[in-house]
Amino acid sequence: MFAQSFRCLFLGENPSWLKITAALAHSPFVSLTVQRACSAAAAFSDLSVRSWDALALDLHASNFQALDSIHKFRSELPSFPILALFDPAAQDLADLATKALHAGASRCLSLHDLTAETIHHAIRSLTPDAQTQSLLRRHADVTPYFRKDSAHPPSRAEVVSHAVNNLLCVINANADVLADHLADSNLAARSIQEIKKAAKSAADLIRSL
């Protein structure tokens, strides 16, 4: 189990919410709680009266203005983690992701590859403690994200690379968790090392493209 527990407030519509609940159902060992807010106003209210570790916001929701909401959340909560969830099949993806980051989003995560592990990792990377900083340093070579200071919008290849790197980071993090719990098993240790070696090779390949 991921020892650090997080609470995330989700703002978006039913299709994205169903993806999140399905991701949580398939990852019972991840310490992550997600609750839905049905409107931007409800999210603002909830964030002001309850303790949350992050806000996940659907960029494609039709019942609120996503970019305006991100900007408003950021102005009210300067250092609060905001995760922008995007559909990689959307035609305006590169432009939308860049605008979301400039509006104040902390990270962009693909809805197609959304898992409890990727959400947990993204929140953890934005709220680091001593243990988290150590993990991030160990996996720094496989965790690139879209950044606000990008001179140009990300290409579709960069978007795909970003999503794949998120998955590789999950693989590495879970391999570390297994290594901690299976330290006495030589066979398991060798298997874990093979997993980590393959993940690193995949990350190196992506960087070379």
pLDDT in tens, 26-47: 776 678 889 999 889 999 888 8
Stretch among 23-37, 104-118, 139-153 having the lowest mean pLDDT: 139-153
Residues contacting residue 165 through CB under 8 Å, at least 6 positions apart: 142, 143, 144, 203, 206
Tokens 């330290």 map to which residue? 183
**What is the per-residue pLDDT for 89?**
79
Report residue 151's pLDDT band, with 50, 70 and 90 as the boundaries.
low
**Average pLDDT over all residues of the chain:** 76
> All domains of the chain, ordered by start, with CATH?
6-208 (3.40.50.2300)
Stretch among 25-29, 139-143, 183-187 having the lowest mean pLDDT: 139-143
Query: Packing angle between helix 156-181 and helix 130-138, nearest 10 degrees?
Result: 120
Closest C-alpha to 144, from 115, 120, 165: 165
Q: Answer whether residue 71 shows pLDDT above 80.
A: yes
Q: Please report, for residues 114, 161, 175, the alpha-carbon distance to residue 147 in angstroms, rounded to integers and kept in the order given.
A: 19, 14, 27
Yes or no: say if 10 and 35 are a contact pair by the CB < 8 Å rule.
Answer: yes
**Class of residue 156 by CB neighbours under 10 A (exposed 0-12, middle 13-18, buried 19+):** exposed
Closest C-alpha to 183, from 195, 193, 173: 193
How many Cβ atoms are within 10 Å of 23's Cβ, its own excluded?
20
Q: Are strands 32-37 and 54-58 parallel, antiparallel or unpaired?
A: unpaired
Instruction: Determine what percent of the chain is predicted with pLDDT higher than 90.
Output: 14
Q: Please report, for residues 59, 68, 190, the alpha-carbon distance to residue 101 in angstroms, rounded to integers and kept in the order given.
A: 11, 12, 40
Closest C-alpha to 31, from 134, 116, 130, 131: 116
